[in-house]
Amino acid sequence: MNFQISLNENVISVELQNKKHIKHCYLRILSKDLLQIKANKYFTIYDAKDLINRKKEWILENIKRVENKTIEEGFFLYLGEKKELKNFKIKNLDNFYKNEIQKIIPLLVEKYSNIMQLYPTKISYRKNKRTWGSCNYKNELNFNILLMKYPMYIMEYIVVHELAHIKHKNHSKDFWNLVQKFCPNYKIIEKNFKSLL
């Protein structure tokens, strides 16, 4: 069920999805003018309007964040900076990111492998929706090509994080202690990274 509401003189579309098996209510901002609410089958349009009213400040704040992250047509992100596509001869952005990351990651892996004394068996690159890096039981590392959008210090942190998984295949206290040893401000980096996503 779709309807529209007015927030600070902006008309926003709301997509209400009623699902049988949902216990809680989920509110997401899909774009600056589209909200999504997923809730149980008894959740009405009046409940949705009440929820939006109660969460108005949070919604407006997060719409602003979405707007700030939206990149205008003809631009792309490269190592944390907006670049104009026309200044680069890019036909396919994913291919461009894949080529670029292969120039950077091996150098970072070599640098931190030597410092940490942890060595991967293989490095590969993929475009992932959810993970930025991974380490499997064979100690093969995989990195998300979309890391090229973010500042270099984030890529360095992901490399340290994945190399630490060679020693600890979990997120135990020992794992985080190892990460902190080679990346003392990792908590700040994670917070900054989340704010950029």
pLDDT at residue 182, as a whole number: 97
Asked whether the predicted pLDDT for residue 163 surpasses 80, the reply is: yes
**pLDDT band, residue 136 (cuts 50/70/90):** very high
- Structure tokens that stand for 35 in this block: 């909200």
CATH of 86-196, one of 3.40.50.720, 1.10.10.60, 3.30.2010.10, 3.40.50.1970: 3.30.2010.10
Predicted TM-score (pTM) of this structure:
0.69
Which range is most confident: 12-21, 40-49, 165-174? 165-174
Asked whether the predicted pLDDT for residue 63 surpasses 90, the reply is: no
Instruction: Tell me the C-alpha distance between 100 and 164, whole Å.
Output: 24
Q: What is the CA radius of gyration of the chain?
A: 21
Asked whether the predicted pLDDT for residue 1 surpasses 70, the reply is: yes
What does the pLDDT look like over 93-130, one tens digit per residue? 999 999 999 999 999 999 999 999 999 999 999 998 88
pLDDT at residue 196, as a whole number: 80
Q: Under 8 Å CB-to-CB from 3, ≥6 apart: which residues?
A: 13, 14, 16, 45, 48
Q: Which residue has the tokens 């949070």?
A: 58
DSSP string, 63-107: HHHHHHHPPPTTEEEETTEEEEGGGTT-S-HHHHHHHHHHHHHHH
Which range (5-9, 13-17, 166-170, 188-192) has the least confidence? 5-9
pLDDT at residue 104, as a whole number: 97
Closest CA to 109 of 66, 168, 165: 165
Strands 81-84 and 26-31: unpaired
The strand order across the sheet containing 34-39 reads: 2-7, 10-18, 34-39, 26-31
pLDDT at residue 144, as a whole number: 97
Asked whether the predicted pLDDT for residue 69 surpasses 80, the reply is: no
pLDDT at residue 22, as a whole number: 86
Q: Which of helix, strand or coil describes residue 13?
A: strand
Closest CA to 31 of 63, 9, 69: 63
DSSP string, 113-148: HHHHT---SEEEEE--SS-SEEE-TT-EEEEEGGGG
Q: Where are the domains of the chain?
A: 2-69, 86-196
